[in-house]
Amino acid sequence: MHIAVAGNIGSGKTTLTRMLAKRYGWEPRFEPVDNNPYLDDFYADMERWSFNLQIYFLNKRFKEVVEISKSKGYIIQDRTIFEDARIFAPNLHDMGMMSDRDFDNYSDLFDLMISLVGLPDLMIYIRSTIPNLVAQISKRGREFEKSIRIDYLQGLNKRYEDWIEGYKGHLIIVDGDTCKFESNPSDFKKITDSIDAQLYGLFPFDEQR
């Protein structure tokens, strides 16, 4: 089974992925951030490095989703291939940070890849406002994120909302501004209760409890 956690930069995806993996005994797959060879360059010069970064993520994410599709276990993924192609790359293109030529090339490659994989069995989307995202990004103190532009985050947030509005798979939405799942056990339980309700309708889940 493939469970995925989606959300903007700073929304708490990695934290929730880690907590749910521990709670259910699922295998976590985390976003390749710390060892990413393009992130520092990208945030310093988005226009120059946007295509390189997005191809890097697309490559890593496709390999991962193919592995997940072949697995018979329960895997929870921090960010999906759909977010790269439906949110991050189009946002960079709209901002003038990715050329028409590069975006068309990227989109053609994504369309080919996505024809070979399906949607996750369950998508968990963490919805957050810009002030909350900025506070979270500042709190974790990653050096390469200090130069993130507000208009970049705003564009991503709009695209996330548009994408989720038309999402066709099984979906849980978490309010990242008010649901403090990391520090409040009752808030975390609300999420796991929603997950249990969804998964009982999909597959037998008793062995994972």
Q: What type of residue sits at position 134?
A: V
Q: How many CA atoms lie within 13 A of 171 on its CB side?
A: 14
For 104-136, write each residue's pLDDT tens digit: 999 999 999 988 888 999 999 999 999 999 998
For 81-109, write each residue's pLDDT tens digit: 999 899 999 999 999 999 999 999 999 99
Question: Residue 160: which of 198, 132, 129 has the closest Cα?
Answer: 129
Q: How many residues does the chain have?
A: 209
- Supply the residues annotated as catalytic: 78
Residue spans of beta strands (DSSP E) within the chain: 2-7, 27-29, 75-78, 122-127, 171-175
pLDDT at 208 over 50: no
pTM beyond 0.75, yes or no: yes
Both structure tokens of 48: 């120059």
Both structure tokens of 162: 């548009």
Helices 13-24 and 185-200 cross at an angle (nearest 10°) of 70
Domain spanning 2-208, CATH architecture: 3-Layer(aba) Sandwich (3.40)
